[in-house]
Amino acid sequence: MGRLDRVAGSHVRMMRVRRCGVDSSTVVEGRHVVVVGGGIAGLTAAWVLLRDGDPALTVTVLEGSPRVGGKLHATTVAGVPVDEGAESMLARRTESIDLAREVGLADDLQPPSTATASLWTRGALRPMPRGHVMGVPGDLEPLAASGVLSTAGLARIPLDHALAPHRYEDDVAVGRYVAERMGHEVVDRLVEPLLGGVYAGNAYEISLAAAVPQLLPIARGGGSLVTGVRGLLDRAAQGPGGPVFMGIAGGVGRLPVAVAGAVVATGRGEIRTRTTVRELERTATGWRLVTGPTSAPVAIEADAVILAVPAAPAARLLRPHSAVAGVELSAIEYAGMALVTLAFRRSDLAAAPSGSGFLVPPVDGRRIKASTFASNKWGWIDRADPDTFVLRTSLGRAGEEAVLQREDADLVADSLADLRDAIGLDAEPIDHKVTRWGGGLPQYAVGHLGRIACVRDAVERLPRLAVCGAVYQGVGIPACVASATEAATDVLAELAKPLARSAH
């Protein structure tokens, strides 16, 4: 861990001590903004408020769990630092990388050591074919060479050129659109594992407009999907190069801790963990948030509020003030998943697997849906202990919540059994960690963007209140940072206006 991480942890602990025993209304002089939610979106919103706001502005972050970071969390397995949640950031969207640099992690940004992934399908580990957009092929030659599709599946794709144009004026499920143009095998063996790795969802239910927006103009144009994807690939090849993904030495889970440290280091930011907001009330000057047990409520006054929480708690807090926002957010479903991190002695392995890992199409009926060879993928893991090999598996998709209820030992056994079949792994781990992310990933169903537009319109009618997070603009870290930055910027603009001009 870097110095700023240690400072952040120290400040957060100190603040918890300072807040102990507070059971009366908390009034802060000057403009005060409360951010509900201490994940990367909430922490980013707090940082942007303090960075760009008036020097007299103060910010309080309220987080219901015992720690900040949400689904980003760094830990250790067999003494080696690893991520328990997301392990990389999309590098071609710079929001999260810029944030990491701002909070002192510039020297720790590192691209993957290898990005050579495979697909475990049709009974073998096969190379991920190049020349695709989220699994939708634009180049059939590497696809044919990979062996991922059957002869019949490959033969179906060229029919895309002969099909009558079909223009999708509205949204459509990714799986439906791709299957109609290229056949179900492309969806089942290419699109599903890639899209499932991002959303843990079902390609036949996920919105094209929300999840793969770059394909939407092709769908609306109605022409060949192969030709359209090839055009996207050609344009991308002319753009800036560089790595597609970026990690952080010690784990991406260090990022929220560093942002929290930067928030506290301003002297105007406070973070309270184990503090769940039960109610949100309008006042003459802004908002009142009620925390604490019903027998001893704690009221916190705020000039403005940012809700950086998942859809369900956001709906609960917004419903008394906007039935539309409450109803629309309540309709959004979430998927859960489990991550199993395994550490092995290299000397126990007949041969360490090569590449960055593999994805598993659901159609193949395996127990795991992916495996990442973390020691291969991230140089800092290998350097931390060259004698230990770390990998992780993921289990569970939308509709498979029962997986999360299984014992740790069962999930480890399932992972080892599939790894034995996939890569011939025949060794016992020296350490393991099972992490469950119940309801961790919002599902972008068909029509999601329209639903979010309704929510935003409703929230804009509420004075000095904004929302942000994975449910609104994308589930990736850069998208969450962008969503939080937008919310903070909107709140600062609202605070610059007299309250009467932005009320009801």
Written as tens digits, the pLDDT of the chain (504 aa) is 333 333 333 333 333 323 333 333 343 347 999 999 999 999 999 999 999 999 999 999 999 999 999 999 999 999 999 999 999 999 989 999 999 999 999 999 999 999 899 999 999 999 999 999 999 999 999 999 999 999 999 999 999 999 988 888 889 999 999 999 999 999 999 999 999 988 988 999 999 999 999 999 999 999 999 999 999 999 988 877 788 999 999 999 999 999 999 999 999 999 999 999 999 999 999 999 999 998 999 999 999 999 999 999 999 999 999 999 999 999 999 999 999 999 999 999 999 899 999 999 999 999 999 999 999 999 999 999 999 999 999 999 888 888 889 999 999 999 999 999 999 999 999 999 999 998 889 999 999 999 999 999 999 999 999 999 999 999 999 999 999 999 999 999 999 988 754 444
The CATH number assigned to the domain holding 226 equals: 1.10.3110.10
Give the number of domains in the chain.
3
Domain end among 394, 421, 442? 442
> Which residues sit opposite 248 in a β-bridge?
109
Residues 430 and 450 in one domain: no
398 shares its domain with 480: no
476 in any annotated domain? yes
Please indicate, yes or no, whether residues 138 and 220 belong to a single structural domain of this protein.
Answer: yes
How far is it, in rounded angstroms, from Cα 454 to Cα 331? 12
In the numeric block, the tokens 């843990």 are attached to 200
For the stretch 430-445, pLDDT in tens is 999 999 998 889 999 9
Spatial separation of the C-alpha atoms in residues 268 and 284, rounded to whole Å: 24
pLDDT of res. 3: 32
Give the domain range for residue 221: 128-237
Q: Are residues 370 and 420 in the same domain?
A: yes
Q: DSSP readout, 312-377?
A: HHHHHHHTTT-HHHHHHHHT--EEEEEEEEEEEEGGG-SSPPPSSEEE--GGG--S-SEEE-HHHH
Is 56 inside any structural domain?
A: yes
Same domain, 278 and 345: no
Q: Are residues 66 and 84 in the same domain?
A: no
Give pLDDT, residue 1: 36
**Could you tell me the CA-to-CA distances from 395 to 323, 406, 477 in Å, in that order?**
36, 11, 21
Spatial separation of the C-alpha atoms in residues 319 and 103, rounded to whole Å: 35
The separation between CA 299 and the C-alpha centre of its own chain, rounded to angstroms, equals 31
Asked whether the CA dihedral 452, 453, 458, 463 is positive or negative, the reply is positive
Are 78 and 154 found together in one domain? Answer: no
Q: Find the CATH number of the domain harbouring 302.
A: 3.50.50.60
Predicted model pTM:
0.91
Specify whether the CB–CB gap between 393 and 340 falls below 8 A: yes
What's the Cα-to-Cα distance from 310 to each of 59, 335, 455, rounded to whole Å? 20, 12, 13
**What CA–CA distance (Å, rounded) separates 133 from 215?**
8
Query: What is the Cα 196 distance to its own chain's centre?
Result: 12
Question: Residue 57 falls within a domain, yes or no?
Answer: yes
> What is the residue whose two structure tokens read 């110095």?
3
> Are 344 and 431 contained in the same domain?
yes
Last residue of a domain, one of 237, 268, 289: 237
Q: Is residue 101 part of a domain?
A: no
Position 18 scores a pLDDT of 30
Q: Which pLDDT belongs to residue 500?
A: 57
Q: Indicate if 154 and 168 belong to the same structural domain.
A: yes
User: Which pLDDT does position 242 carry in this prediction?
Assistant: 82
Handedness of CA 152, 157, 158, 164 (dihedral sign): positive
Q: Are residues 328 and 338 in the same domain?
A: no
The domain boundary, picked from 419, 442, 465, lies at 442
**Contact assessment for residue 49 and residue 491, using Cβ atoms and an 8 Å cutoff:** yes
Are 169 and 79 in a shared domain? no
- 246 within some domain: no
- The answer to whether residues 37 and 7 touch, using CB atoms and an 8 Å cutoff, is no
Which residue, 434, 301, 426, 415, is CA-closest to 369?
A: 415
